[in-house]
Structure 1
Amino acid sequence: MAEITDGYTPSIPSGHSSGSPPPPTPLRVGLIEYEDDEEEEDGVGNGVKPIGNAVKVSCIGGSKRYHFNGFEARGVCYQLEDTVLVVPDDPYVNMKPSVAIIKDITATQDGRITVTGQRFYRLDVAVNENGEKWESSDSRELFYSFDKTEFPASAVMHKCRVNFIPPNKEIPRAKHQPGFIVRKVYDSKYKELSELVDTCYDDSKQHELNLLLAKTIATVAKESLKL
């Protein structure tokens, strides 16, 4: 993921001399203090801040990280397990946004907020052992993976929907079930695909996949009741 720094620029009250701006008013969040941020030159990372108090503190490379259950970016709240679109590594290259499930949200003492996500692979990124791209009958298809990826919270574009489709079920039409679809799991190390329900997974990974399948089934059932 492209490295984008979350900045915090204090606002200057109207009528104050531009020669020496007043010290920023800190915003108390959990165990750290954050300055109210208003605007960055490139507009990326504007208004990014954690939600609530830190639920855990860890130490990585000698520096503390504060873990949160959610964060706010540009007026939108994001929480753990939300599926989101993320700014591509190089926004100036013709790349589509990546997709990830938010698994962890951390903040450093200087206010940088980072997201750890469970990564999905697009068909134009995943390749087989021969270096060839996988084929699909649906352009909405993504491959799930057990890979983790880290990116700045400011790189999150917006939430998106991902439907996990069991092997014995046909791909639903986008009109009836909008969003991305997942039917396979991609192993980026061995360049292989597996079914969502397979004997190759250990219990914890299969449990993870079963929860995602159940979440899709519950969402579709809830929407059917509204019709």
Structure 2
Amino acid sequence: MDEYEEVRGDIKPIGDAVRVSCNPGESIIHHFNAFEARGVSYRLEDAILVSPDDPYENMKPSVAIIKDISATQDGRITVTGQRFYRLEVAVNKNGEKWESSESRELFYSFDKTEFLANFVMHKCRVHFIPPNKEIPCAKDQPGFIVRKIYDSKYKKLTELVDTCYDDSKQLEINLLLEKTIANAPKSH
């Protein structure tokens, strides 16, 4: 059995560790660019569906972009994801939920969340749509859509193209927009 092979669900990192870290008082943690779960490989920057912590709570899966994959020496594989918020979870300053005419809409955030790799259900598609563009038909571009960014600390929404972010966050948003444009179906 591989040193990092997770006992539950045949989950294991792919390739060599790209870096090593250590939290104070804890064991060494190896970081990877990819992992395999149930025969499917997942890489950094993949959009994924994540099962709820408690499957009996009747919650929908969450959505995240993989930002880090780590393995401890005891075989536990953890994923850190950039979190998306569903409309029914994100609230404004008054505690009210945001409205949308689009059922596929998610809000992007700069929040990170950590979970065990066995909570990853499968890959999904997320399209970043600037406000001046029409929302694509689900038949032509299946998957979730993002038009706004949610700030969970201040409980406010901003447009994807607002320029109020620091350079690294603005670059991240620009790359996500470019990726959507590059993957859009070409009209004939």
TM class by smaller structure: over 0.9
Q: Which of 1 and 2 has greater Rg?
A: 1
Matched residues, number = 187
Structure 2, unpaired ranges of 5+: none
What fraction of aligned residue pairs are identical, expressed as a percent?
76
Structure 1, unpaired ranges of 5+: 1-25, 28-32, 38-44
Separation in 1, partners of 2:77, 2:29: 9
Separation in 2, partners of 1:36, 1:104: 17
The corresponding residue for 1:89 is 53
How far is 1:34 from its partner? 3.5
The corresponding residue for 1:64 is 28
After superposition, the Cα gap between the structure-2 partners of 1:61 and 1:175, relative to the gap in structure 1 and judged at 3 Å, is same
Could you list the runs of 4 or more consecutive aligned residues of structure 1 that deviate by over 3 angstroms after TM superposition? 34-37
The corresponding residue for 2:149 is 185
Query: CA-to-partner distance for each residue in 1:120-161, whole Å, 9 max, x for gaps?
Result: 000000000000000000100000000000000000000000
- Normalising by structure 2, what TM-score? 0.96
The corresponding residue for 2:126 is 162
Separation in 2, partners of 1:206, 1:95: 31
Separation in 1, partners of 2:62, 2:104: 13
Q: In the alignment, is the contact (CA less than 8 A) between 2:4 and 2:71 conserved in 1?
A: no
How far is 1:118 from its partner? 0.2
The corresponding residue for 1:224 is 186
Separation in 2, partners of 1:108, 1:69: 15
The corresponding residue for 2:73 is 109
- Spell out the pairing of 1:78-157 with structure 2 (5 A cutoff): 78-157=42-121
Asked whether 1:198 is paired with 2:162, we answer yes
The residue type equivalent to 2:68 in the other structure is D
Give the CA RMSD over aligned residues.
Answer: 1.3
The residue type equivalent to 1:87 in the other structure is S
How far is 1:68 from its partner? 0.5
The corresponding residue for 1:16 is none
The corresponding residue for 1:208 is 172
